[in-house]
Amino acid sequence: MIEERIKEIKSKLPDNVTLVAVSKLKPVEDIMEAYRAGQRVFGENYATELRDKHAQLPADIEWHFIGHLQSKQLKYYIGYVSMIHGVDSIEHLQDIEKAAAKVDRVVDVLLQVHVAKEETKFGFAPEELDEPGKLTQLELPHVRVRGLMGMASHTDDTERVRSDFKAVKSFFDSLKRGPYRNREYFDTISMGMSHDWPIAVEEGSTMVRLGTSIFGERDYSKLKK
């Protein structure tokens, strides 16, 4: 079933869009089924779960941390994570720099921009990203900002969702023309999840984070208290 879902999704994704299979709270058996179907990029939300799965699964898996970042937990994955999504503050960028320096790695990150109508969502305000030099002048030799991550409002109003994604793309284009214009690696727009990814792709996403549509519903009672 997982293999069939992955093949169906990939058949609909443009070649320039990376599929991140969100495997949080799913057993290693499910991840291996996706792996056997050719999937190599997986996203996890919880640091210790990511640590444990990394130890058990094939070494060529590309792990993305997509949960809300807690600086004290960077030690669990900073040595091997391929990308950290959702970096929402300068303080977190500096914490990643310190952790990555300790293991002598350059770690790719995405800046989360807050465009959704929910106040509970995290991210940089658009005006923070537009402030000249605020981010690019930071001394972060072990951090490489690859682009932006955004989450649309949780609503059935598809026009609102489309508007949110358009805003993320607009901010990306502005940064690409401005402070990141000479940085070829600034190339990633991560937006779109199981319920809204087709709209995200239409609006310029280059990376989608899909969990339920690949692995099915999750049992959140498995979360450790």
Give the start-end residues of each E strand in 34-179: 41-44, 62-65, 83-87, 107-113, 143-150
Percent of the chain with pLDDT over 70: 95
Cα 88 to Cα 14, 66, 210: the distances in Å are: 28, 12, 21
C-alpha to C-alpha distance for 169 and 205, rounded to whole angstroms = 8
C-alpha to C-alpha distance for 153 and 113, rounded to whole angstroms = 12
What would the mean pLDDT of 15-41 be, rounded to a whole number? 97
- Other C-beta atoms closer than 10 Å to the C-beta of 56 total 9
pTM of the model: 0.93
Check whether 159 has a pLDDT greater than 90: yes
CB-based contact 31:57 (threshold 8 Å) = yes
Q: What are 100-136's pLDDT values in tens digits?
A: 999 999 999 999 998 877 655 678 877 777 666 677 7
Q: What are 29-67's pLDDT values in tens digits?
A: 999 999 999 999 999 999 999 999 999 999 999 999 999
Amino acid identity of residue 115, one-letter, is V
What would the mean pLDDT of 13-23 be, rounded to a whole number? 97
DSSP state letter for 4: H
Alpha carbon dihedral 216, 204, 18, 115, in 10-degree steps, equals: -60
Give me the pLDDT at residue 99, please: 98
Residue spans of the domains in the chain: they are: 2-216
Using DSSP's 3-state secondary structure scheme, residue 208 falls into strand
Alpha carbon dihedral 151, 79, 91, 133, in 10-degree steps, equals: -80
Tokens of 214: 């690949």
One CATH from 3.20.20.60, 3.30.70.1060, 3.40.720.10, 3.20.20.10 for 2-216: 3.20.20.10
What would the mean pLDDT of 148-166 be, rounded to a whole number? 93
Q: What are 173-196's pLDDT values in tens digits?
A: 999 998 888 889 999 999 999 999
What would the mean pLDDT of 196-219 be, rounded to a whole number? 95
